[in-house]
Chains A and B, each alone.
Chain A
């Protein structure tokens, strides 16, 4: 209780008692209401999280199939698949990139796991604005389907970066496309606003910033980026519209505009977007490492604040995508310098996670297995990022397969591994079922193997000069392309297996208890699957979520309820099993 007393001078006594969680809830958020309509109109953050999970899984599957088609086409130089022309191929990789980035990577962790877990982790019944939360899902789906329609109907073949003036030559489709992406962006702004408000205003009594779970810190940093960076996309859209409709030269050199300016605008949003994708993943890693090492997180503040540092510096590095664009040498130099700096907080996180495992009690369960995969792949992704931040080296490697491999190591190796870790970690809380641990480990192995076979050869051919977005290529790269294609199918098989056993577990899985991992965090102190309103009581927090040296009972406290249902803040009666706690006002 020393932590609670030390928090501030303005403390006040709360009467609390222990609430031992039920293992299983007969009435839970899944069966509280029935029917499709109850899902489509739900305001429950947990159900909205699952709606996002459905949308995101669908788009990930589509993007994945497109990736396999791309890899098959590259089996030989020149045309390989009979039905696929150069133009068809160009549309294929555009669609793959746009779907994976805007429809899958950007929303996935915050919208699925953030929505599901964060309110429970801070002891709230829901997010601050439940209706806004549902609306952001509808915006996401509308924007997503609209974007896919525009890309296919408009035959957009610009790559997901839509560089002008090439993209200007494809008719009006790019304006419509940017609009679709902006609607998705708007949904991400709303989620950001919602999360920031929720984390500020709805934390349970006693849950100070210093006890906030690191996953919430990650989401908090992410939300700040979402709110600040996404409007730039709207500005870009407005400028593109002005150029198209009013004929004001902004990006089009034919009108006296500057095509490189477009790249600045684009990356001013899209680079921070990279951190929108990865920072919440860092949060998952922190949770999983601590739980499966059964040990206090090492360097809590270092991990929490480094997320904010990454969010901040991440805004100042967009120009590193443009070293060969013809931007001023001085600008390139400054951007290179700042990019190196962003590597430092990322390194700090890595070392703190390792230190957390040191002297821990490590159980090698599936979520931790994915986190170890994350360490390995993200390390390679990060270090090749250092290579690419070095201007002189980037000149040679820019727009080659080296870059393709690098960002797949960061995005798939980092983000997707973290997402899978989180999904396996919180699956029992979501559905009250356990998946088959053996199959899960086999799948994790397949994914790790397939991923490396796919993308390691791409570093080699990229450094040797193989440019990206090539339908045809020189004979000498054939071997690397073929190994890469084989790897993509192993990777695909791994994901199919994951889908298989997860769906199987829903129907036939062993029932999971409230806290199958023995975690101290708040979401594990309620029944599985979670009850409709998360808590039957107002939870009270006296210890941090990683204080494994405290007994479990210390994490199961709630305010004593008076007869009329209101919390009794200054009750005179003290039940025999209550504890006296000082919590921050």
Chain B
């Protein structure tokens, strides 16, 4: 029965997703039946009424009002039914429950930043509890972006100069992809992220650990933690570690090297330069690159910056 759902849709991992998928299945199934019917009629006609001689005479049938009304009214009733059904789900999609857990989302070229009630903040990774409605209050720092999680069937444009919101209730723990679906320039296709759905207890623990900036997990070396932070903060969207040219300079062999700057001088890449470039990227810009990186002032703790620098040092 769920032909189209199984063939076309990603796994359903939110409450909305399930009701969405039923409607999706219904509309596609009705369409398929109609398509087969019409194709069958066409094939039947071209075989049965194939021209056998050039002198064939065809009957004069100019119109039939009863038929016209039939094939106007039946589809009309059907589409009105679909409209009503879709409208009902849409109302659900736009009405978050009052007790929804609120997370602030900021989009900018080309990353997602999430801020939680207790001061915790993440980039690229959205942490949410399972079985609890979550409401996202979103705005953009530059151009229009769009927040899309296929597994949740949630999409909402994120517009500069105003707040938009979306909500979902995740039904299982695990990880799902976030895409940006409003075209926003060079790295639009790399402006992805992930939603990590925890069970209630893990979520509370994670939230408490990250209040006011996270500290290093005890089982990781600083450089290993740095590698993790680079992914979480979407640094790898613009900086490669293998020398590939991207929006920003590659980090391969960067530590200790001499870099030509946009103002004509050169600088030795040391801890201080890296720290400054993370907090105020525009201060000493490497030649040939645009000043497009957002400042990470207030986003990363000293401990986190140290870990990232340790990681960059390992990239020979």
Which residues from chain A contact B50 at a C-beta distance below 8 Å?
362, 364
A547 to B59, CA, bound (A): 10
B38 with A259: CB separation less than 8 A? no
A507 → chain B closest CB, angstroms = 29
A467 to B162, CA, bound (A): 24
From the candidates B93, B144, B188, name the one contacting A259 in the complex (CB within 8 A).
B144
A358 to B186, CA, bound (A): 54
From the candidates A293, A355, A399, A549, name the one contacting B49 in the complex (CB within 8 A).
A293
A350 with B68: CB separation less than 8 A? no
Q: Which residues of B, 34-73, contact A by the 8 Å Cβ criterion? A: 34-35, 38-39, 41-42, 45-46, 49-52, 54, 56-64, 67-68, 71-72
A354 with B42: CB separation less than 8 A? yes
Which residues from chain A contact B59 at a C-beta distance below 8 Å?
295, 359
A295 → chain B closest CB, angstroms = 4
A324 to B68, CA, bound (A): 36
Which residues from chain B contact A393 at a C-beta distance below 8 Å?
20, 23-24, 27, 86
From the candidates B58, B82, B183, name the one contacting A293 in the complex (CB within 8 A).
B58
A391 with B187: CB separation less than 8 A? no
Question: Is A209's CB within 8 Å of the partner chain B?
Answer: no
Which residues from chain B contact A398 at a C-beta distance below 8 Å?
155, 181
A383 with B35: CB separation less than 8 A? yes
From the candidates B41, B60, B90, B186, name the one contacting A391 in the complex (CB within 8 A).
B90
Q: Which of B5-13, B98-106, B251-259 contacts A (4 or more CB under 8 A)?
A: B5-13
* Contact status of A86 and B41, CB under 8 A, knowing A325-B157, A395-B93: no
Among residues of B, the one whose C-beta sits closest to the C-beta of A298 is B61
A386 with B56: CB separation less than 8 A? no
Which residues from chain B contact A301 at a C-beta distance below 8 Å?
63
Question: Is A258's CB within 8 Å of the partner chain B?
Answer: yes
Q: Which residues of B, 168-218, contact A by the 8 Å Cβ criterion? A: 177, 179-190
Q: Which residues of A, 365-405, contact B by the 8 Å Cβ criterion? A: 372, 375-376, 379-380, 383-384, 386-387, 389-393, 395-396, 398-400
* Contact status of A379 and B61, CB under 8 A, knowing A465-B10, A467-B181: no
A86 with B187: CB separation less than 8 A? yes
From the candidates B61, B68, B71, B188, name the one contacting A296 in the complex (CB within 8 A).
B61
Among residues of A, the one whose C-beta sits closest to the C-beta of B164 is A326
Which residues from chain B contact A389 at a C-beta distance below 8 Å?
83
A159 to B184, CA, bound (A): 10
B189 with A390: CB separation less than 8 A? no
Among residues of A, the one whose C-beta sits closest to the C-beta of B56 is A361
A395 with B154: CB separation less than 8 A? yes
* Contact status of A459 and B182, CB under 8 A, knowing A166-B143, A392-B93: no
A470 with B189: CB separation less than 8 A? yes
B144 with A357: CB separation less than 8 A? no
Which residues from chain B contact A379 at a C-beta distance below 8 Å?
34-35, 38
A358 with B45: CB separation less than 8 A? yes
From the candidates B10, B57, B76, B142, name the one contacting A464 in the complex (CB within 8 A).
B10
A166 with B185: CB separation less than 8 A? yes
B186 → chain A closest CB, angstroms = 5
A549 with B57: CB separation less than 8 A? yes
Question: Is B137's CB within 8 Å of the partner chain A?
Answer: no
Which residues from chain A contact B162 at a C-beta distance below 8 Å?
253, 258, 326
* Contact status of A386 and B183, CB under 8 A, knowing A259-B160, A354-B38: no
A302 with B63: CB separation less than 8 A? yes
B20 with A363: CB separation less than 8 A? no
A165 with B42: CB separation less than 8 A? no
B157 → chain A closest CB, angstroms = 5
Question: Is A469's CB within 8 Å of the partner chain B?
Answer: yes
A149 → chain B closest CB, angstroms = 22
Question: Is A360's CB within 8 Å of the partner chain B?
Answer: yes
Q: Which of A13-21, A212-220, A271-279, A330-338 contacts B (4 or more CB under 8 A)?
A: A330-338
Which residues from chain A contact B142 at a C-beta distance below 8 Å?
165, 169
Among residues of A, the one whose C-beta sits closest to the C-beta of B88 is A392
A326 with B156: CB separation less than 8 A? yes
Question: Is A41's CB within 8 Å of the partner chain B?
Answer: no
* Contact status of A300 and B62, CB under 8 A, knowing A344-B75, A354-B41, A464-B9: yes
A158 to B182, CA, bound (A): 11
A333 to B84, CA, bound (A): 10
Question: Is A294's CB within 8 Å of the partner chain B?
Answer: yes
Which residues from chain B contact A336 at a C-beta distance below 8 Å?
83, 86-87, 90
What residues make up the interface of A, taking CB atoms closer than 8 Å to B? 86-87, 90, 157-159, 163, 165-166, 169, 253-254, 258-260, 293-296, 298-302, 324-326, 329, 332-333, 336-337, 340-341, 343-344, 347-348, 350-352, 354-355, 357-364, 372, 375-376, 379-380, 383-384, 386-387, 389-393, 395-396, 398-400, 459-460, 463-465, 467-474, 518, 547-549
What residues make up the interface of B, taking CB atoms closer than 8 Å to A? 7-10, 19-20, 23-24, 27-28, 31, 34-35, 38-39, 41-42, 45-46, 49-52, 54, 56-64, 67-68, 71-72, 75-76, 79-80, 82-83, 85-91, 93-94, 142-144, 146, 148, 150-151, 153-157, 159-162, 164, 177, 179-190
Q: Which 6 pairs of residues, A with B, have the shortest CB-CB distance?
A: A465-B150, A253-B161, A390-B86, A392-B89, A470-B189, A463-B8
